[in-house]
Chains A and B, each alone.
Chain A
Amino acid sequence: MIDLSHLRGDFPLLEREINGYPLTYLDSASTTQKPVQVIDAVDTYYRTINANVHRGAYTLAAEATDAYESSRAKVADFIGASHANEVVFTRGTTTAINFIAYGWGLNNLGEGDKVLLTVMEHHANVVPWQIISRYTGCSLEYLSIDDGFEVDLTTLDDILDERVKVIAVSGMSNVTGALGPVTALVEAAKAVGAIVVVDAAQLVPHVPTDVSQLGADFVAFSAHKMLGPTGIGALWGKPDLLERMEPTEGGGEMISDVQLYESRWAPVPHKFEAGTPPIAQAVGFGAAVDYLSKVGMADVRDHEQAITRYALDRLADIPDLTVYGPPDVERRGGAVSFQLADIHAHDIATILDQYGIAVRAGHHCAKPLMRHLDVPATARASFYVYNTTEDVDTLYDGLIEARTVFGLT
C-alpha cells in the first residue's frame, strides 16, 4: 500500500478535536480538507497580488491576471487538455453542467430528441436536463443499475438511436462509488452522433483523468472536492463545441463589444466567465492541482483503493451492515454507502459524531438512486489522500457503539 500518512501534517483542520475526540474526517466526497499549500496560496494572493483581472493597465492587475490564467493552465494540464482555453472556470460542477444544458442544450435540442442519463446521477446531472426538457420538449431516458450497483448497459441498444443527442453520465457515483461506463457510452454516442457529458465531480479528484483519451465532449468538476477552495470548478469542453456553445450568463468580461441592442462575445473561454471571476479561488485551485500532481494521481488512486478495500473488509465484519456499492475496488472509488440494521442513517451520523467521526447521512443529492435502491437514506464514509486505515478502525469502533446504543448486541 502506498503510504501517504506523511501528508496528514499538511492539513491543519485534521488536528481539530470534535466532542473531545480527534477528528476522523470521512466526508471527502462532500468536500475535502485543504492543505496549507492551498491556504497559503489564497492568503498570499490576497496579501500581495489582489486586483481585478483582464482590465487594469497597471502592474498589479497584470499580476492578478497572470495568476488567474496560470491556474487555468495548471488545471488544463492536470486533466490532459491540449490547451488552457479548453478550460472554463465555473462556480463548480453544478454550474458547469447548467452551462452545458442551457448553452448547448437550448440551441441543439428539440421535440423528439432524447437526453440519456443513468439512475445513479447526482441531482446536478438530472435537474438541469429536466429544466431544458421543459423548454425544448426533448425527453429524458435512463439507464438503470444492475445488482452489482453498476450502470446496466443491457438496455442501451433498445434506447440508443439517432434521437439521442446527449449522453450525460457520472464518472463515479457519489453514493455507491461505482465508476461510470464512460468508455462504453462514448462508443455508443459515436454511433449515433450524440455528445457525451461527464459529471466528473468524483472522478477527477480521485482517478487519473486524461480528457484527450477519455473521448467525452464535456467534463465538469469542482475544486473543493480536490483540496481546492469552494466557489470554483471547471468545465472542460472540446474546442469546437465550446466555440458553438452560447454563454448562459451575460455581463462584464465576457464580451468583445457591446452596443445598445446587441453584443459580440469574447473568445472562449472568457465568453463563459461573465463578471469578476473567483480569482483567489482560481489561485487556490491551481495550488490544489500542484499538490495533487506532486503526490501523483496514480498514487492517490492506489492509496484510496487500499483504504477502500480495507474499509469494505472491516465493514463486512459488522453484523447487519449492508454496503451499497461494488465490492471490487478496481470498479469503484472511495465513497462507501451503507446501512446498519434498523438504525437510520441520521442516527448513525449523530452517534459517530459524538466520537469525532464525520460521515454524511441522507440521500446524497441522488434521490432517484435512493428510490432505486429502495432506501430512504444511507450513511456514507468517503476517503481521500489524508485518510488512513486507523480512520477506518475508528469508524468500525463507532459503528459497534451505534449497535450498542440501539440495543443490538
Chain B
Amino acid sequence: MTSLDELYREVILDHYRNPRRRGSLSGPHVHAEGQNPSCGDEFFLDLAVEDGVITDLAISGQGCSISQASGSMMADNIVGKRISDVREITRKFKIMMSIEDGDNPVDPERPGSVLGDLESLQGVRKFPVRIKCADLAWTTLEDALDQTTE
C-alpha cells in the first residue's frame, strides 16, 4: 500500500464526503470553534452534556478531507460516552498521532478496535504537515469539554 493509499483510506473519504452529525444544536449546549489559520480549515462543535455524559453533538465548518473526516469520526465515536472516557479517547488518539507522548495504543501492523474508525487516520503520521489537520477537531473538543467543567 502506498503512503497515499494509507492516507486516503476509503473510510476517510467516506467520512469526508458524508460527514456524520453535521449541523447545530438548538437545546442547551456549549460551543467551541477551532481554526488552522495557516490553511483556513475550520471546525465548529456544539456539545450537549448531561450528568457528565455527552448526550448530543453537532459539527460544522469546512476544510480538507483529513480535518473534516477526523471531526466526523470523532462525532460518531463520542456520543453517549462519559466525559472522562472521552478525555481518555482523546489522549489515545493524540498518542496514536504522535501529538502526545506515550505508547501507541494501536498496533500499526494490526489495527484493532481501540479507537474504531479513527485508527484509519494513522496514515497521517507519515505526513507531518497534515497532523495538525487531524488534530483540529480534537483540540476543539478539548476546548468544549473544558467549558463543561467551568
Contact = CB atoms under 8 A, between A and B. Distances in A.
Contacts, number: 48
Contact of B63 (A344, A351, A405, A407): A344
A350 interface: yes
Given A362-B39, A377-B40, A346 B4 contact: no
Contacts of B130: 346, 350
A347 B8 CA distance: 9
A183 interface: no
B126 to A, nearest CB: 10
Chain A residues touching B, range? 10 to 19
A407 B13 contact: yes
Contact of B8 (A362, A370, A405): A405
Contacts of B17: 342
B91 to A, nearest CB: 26
B148 to A, nearest CB: 29
Nearest to B14: A407
A361 interface: yes
B64 interface: yes
A344 B3 contact: no
Contacts of A376: 40, 42, 62-63
Interface string B1-40: 0111101101001000100000000000000000000111
A46 interface: no
A363 B64 CA distance: 13
Contacts of B4: 350-351, 354, 405
Interface in B120-150: 127, 129-130, 133
Contacts of B8: 347, 351, 405-406
Contacts of B7: 350
Given A354-B4, A362-B39, A344 B65 contact: yes
Contacts of B64: 344-347
A342 B68 CA distance: 13
A105 B15 CA distance: 50
Interface in A335-349: 342-347
Nearest to B39: A362
A317 B7 CA distance: 27
Interface in A319-359: 342-347, 350-351, 354
A340 to B, nearest CB: 13
Chain A contact surface mostly: mixed
Interface string B102-133: 00000000000000000000000001011001
A346 B66 CA distance: 9
Nearest to A355: B4
Interface in B92-106: none
A343 B7 CA distance: 14
A406 B133 contact: no
A407 B41 CA distance: 23
A157 to B, nearest CB: 35
B34 to A, nearest CB: 15
A367 B37 CA distance: 11
A346 B62 CA distance: 12
Nearest to A354: B4
B6 to A, nearest CB: 11
Interface string A93-127: 00000000000000000000000000000000000
A406 B13 contact: yes
A75 to B, nearest CB: 31
Contacts of B39: 346, 361-362, 377
Contact of A363 (B10, B40, B65): B40
A362 B38 contact: yes
Contacts of A351: 4, 8
B133 A346 contact: yes
Contact of A354 (B3, B42, B133): B3
A377 B42 CA distance: 12
Q: Most chain-B Cβ atoms within 10 A of its Cβ — which of A350, A362, A370, A407? A: A350
A267 B4 CA distance: 58
B124 to A, nearest CB: 10
Interface of B: 2-5, 7-8, 10, 13, 17, 38-42, 62-66, 127, 129-130, 133
Given A346-B133, A376-B62, A406-B65, 7 more contacts: A346-B63, A347-B66, A361-B39, A362-B38, A367-B40, A377-B40, A406-B8
Interface of A: 342-347, 350-351, 354, 361-363, 367, 370, 376-377, 405-407
19 contacts: A342-B17, A343-B65, A344-B65, A346-B39, A346-B133, A351-B8, A354-B4, A361-B39, A362-B39, A362-B40, A370-B40, A376-B42, A377-B39, A377-B40, A405-B4, A405-B8, A406-B65, A407-B10, A407-B13
Which 7 pairs of residues, A with B, have the shortest CB-CB distance? Answer: A344-B64, A346-B64, A363-B40, A376-B62, A347-B65, A362-B39, A405-B8
